[in-house]
Amino acid sequence: MTIKETQEEIIDEFSMFDDWMERYEYIIELGKGLPLIDAQYQVEENLIKGCQSQVWLHAEESNGNIVFTANSDAILTKGIIAILIRVFSGHKTEDILNADLSFIDEIGLKEHLSPTRANGLVSMVKQIRMYALAYQAKH
pLDDT digits 0-9 by tens, 28-77: 999 999 988 999 999 999 999 987 899 999 999 999 999 999 999 999 99
> How would DSSP label each residue in 22-79?
HHHHHHHHHHHT--BPPGGG-SGGGBPTT-SS-EEEEEEEETTEEEEEEEESSHHHHH
In this prediction the pTM is 0.95
Q: What is the CATH number of the domain that holds 20?
A: 3.90.1010.10
Catalytic residues: 51
Q: How many domains does the chain have?
A: 1
How many CB atoms within 10 Å of residue 18?
A: 8
pLDDT digits 0-9 by tens, 90-131: 999 999 999 999 999 999 998 899 888 899 999 999 999 999
Domain range spanning residue 20?
Answer: 3-137
* Single-letter amino acid, residue 46: N
